[in-house]
Structure 1
């Protein structure tokens, strides 16, 4: 039998050390450094990306409101939601804040504007199986149900195509139960009759952000619970081109939320729980990131969504500090390119 002493002697001999030196050697120790401290360290593969830090632009509330779904209307007003209370806000160019729609049970998470001026809202409802898509007049009146609560969806975000139809994400499932997906509603859905939702990309684990390339031929989708970015090439509105789906990027940590695109085809993804925006090119390759102030010490991590103001490269990023004490803030940064053509502006 080989004794422990013999084993140590053999190891020491192989390493050119005396057995006594081997016994005295200290175990190596892990140590924290600046690149890995804090609640949301930037993954090593993304640390070398071009990086800027957004500037505070407007304080919406001293409370941690779950702000989402920002869009600009034709007057330049910024419209956005508060998910858990259901309110929908309007912020004018001179930064006057008002409430369009008071507290309700829609749980609105996404907004898109129709060319007729009506506001389309994706609502999570009861967060189980009774969400809806509704439209309303710009002043918050005349609410019409497009996708009814009885359809069983949890609509989270939506985007219009150039024909007047829209895609919406179904925020259902978990990391092991891919019951969500992306659906398309054809032009003409105005609430007078129930709209038909056609599946485009099913079997997703909590589908979240959705957007279109500038030419409308590529659909981008984030999968919240599995941390994936989907790039979908479209043959038509509801048909995927042959071999047209890829997963060009797998995110680290929590969690890809809403996304937007610009005129160069770049994709901006809000990293919920990380206080930053990750920027990818038209092929889904990471090229830059926008950080939010305070993220290193755990503030402003709930970065949910963003919007590029039409005709500019000004991006406005929405976040909240939840229970961290810094409330709900809109941040501002300049991005690579202008917002793509908006169907609602035509």
Structure 2
């Protein structure tokens, strides 16, 4: 999601008094060697501005772009977490023509991610504030509530999501942020929306989530611990194992959304710095993607997420701050796939 919880909390408080309800990662040795963001680790990739998409909203006092995902027609869909009623909450961007248009707005949702289902082709959005997942047609019509209610006695604060190849959803639940407790979870929701199962709990503001390139397991980040864990899953969606994989030395920045390219590299968004950290599957820091220093100084604070063109290497990163919401581009290290888009 992004500027949140703090990013999450800060953002959602701006949308309206949104009460967050309360809903362990086992440390492992694998991530310690990647104590990942050591200064000078990897190379620097300089992202270039494509266009400005939003301005700070007077009603909420901020704008926060998230969930970039390419549709089948090549359009890039982006959500604005803090957009008030009447302002576009879902945008469709033509990256070649550098144009945008509104797809959806409503008077309630605070949408923190977007992803297309491989099962029904609909666009799914997580409503962090109201504990719901909604879906809609790519043109913005036929809006439906896919899932709402409690999971194991607690309502979710769904942040990001990923789909497996059969269309079942895996959700990062940032539950319990206001209390400052490790109440976050990873939740699996069957593709019909009828059954939800907690796969991991005791997490510290669960945020980014994405399958690896082979769909053997999930990478997920914890915003308030600056760590990335790996959750191996079996054929029926159950948990095979879990361990801490990468510890991100972010300084004042915190771990946000995650995308994975065709080579299995992880693109870790940062809340609190307009940059992304890139790691290989073994935890080695490969690169840091940054916006130009002048742009950062002018009021860009967070790089929440990225979409890599399916079958290509052109990447589009959502960047936000007091200067507004922007789209930046850079050359990814490998081609884009489903796991390089949305969530």
TM-superposed deviation, 1:138: 1.5
Q: Which moved more, 1:130-139 or 1:292-301?
A: 292-301
Larger Rg: 1
Structure 1 contact 161–343 (Cα < 8 Å) conserved: no
1:203-282 mapped onto 2 (5 Å cutoff) = 203-242=202-241, 244-253=242-251, 254-282=253-281
Aligned mates of 1:149, 1:240 — CA distance in 2? 23
Aligned mates of 2:99, 2:170 — CA distance in 1? 31
Aligned mates of 1:197, 1:101 — CA distance in 2? 27
1:167 aligns with 2:170: yes
Using the size of structure 1 for normalisation, the TM-score is 0.78
Q: 1:177 to 1:295 in 2, by over 3 A?
A: farther
TM-superposed deviation, 1:268: 0.3
Cα RMSD (Å) of the superposition? 2.2
- Where does residue 78 of structure 2 map in the other structure? 80
- The 3-state SS of whatever aligns with 2:50 is strand
The C-alpha deviation readout for 1:121-162, integer Å capped at 9, x for no partner, is 11112xxxx321011111222211122156611111111111
Aligned mates of 1:144, 1:202 — CA distance in 2? 28
1:133-212 mapped onto 2 (5 Å cutoff) = 133-149=133-149, 152-174=155-177, 176-189=180-193, 195-212=194-211
Aligned mates of 2:249, 2:37 — CA distance in 1? 12
Structure 2 contact 183–202 (Cα < 8 Å) conserved: yes
1:108-123 mapped onto 2 (5 Å cutoff) = 108-115=111-118, 116-123=120-127
Structure 2 contact 132–156 (Cα < 8 Å) conserved: yes
- The 3-state SS of whatever aligns with 2:146 is strand
- Give the counterpart of 1:332 among 324, 329, 332: 329
Structure 2 contact 212–339 (Cα < 8 Å) conserved: no
Q: Which moved more, 1:209-218 or 1:103-112?
A: 103-112
Using the size of structure 2 for normalisation, the TM-score is 0.78
Q: 1:196 to 1:216 in 2, by over 3 A?
A: same
Aligned mates of 2:225, 2:315 — CA distance in 1? 27
- The 3-state SS of whatever aligns with 1:236 is coil
TM-superposed deviation, 1:47: 2.0
TM-superposed deviation, 1:235: 2.3
1:121-136 mapped onto 2 (5 Å cutoff) = 121-125=125-129, 130-136=130-136
Q: 1:172 to 1:251 in 2, by over 3 A?
A: farther
Q: 1:98 to 1:149 in 2, by over 3 A?
A: farther
Aligned mates of 1:237, 1:58 — CA distance in 2? 42
- The 3-state SS of whatever aligns with 2:38 is helix
Q: 1:149 to 1:295 in 2, by over 3 A?
A: farther
TM-superposed deviation, 1:296: 5.8
Aligned mates of 1:139, 1:236 — CA distance in 2? 34
- Give the counterpart of 2:98 among 95, 98, 109: 95
Structure 2 contact 64–321 (Cα < 8 Å) conserved: no
1:54 aligns with 2:57: no
Aligned mates of 1:163, 1:150 — CA distance in 2? 24
- The 3-state SS of whatever aligns with 2:302 is coil
Instruction: Give the unaligned 5+ runs of structure 2.
Output: 1-35, 57-61
- Where does residue 303 of structure 2 map in the other structure? 303
Aligned mates of 1:136, 1:296 — CA distance in 2? 34
Aligned mates of 1:283, 1:142 — CA distance in 2? 42
How many residue pairs align between the two structures? 289
- The 3-state SS of whatever aligns with 2:264 is coil
Aligned mates of 1:47, 1:173 — CA distance in 2? 35
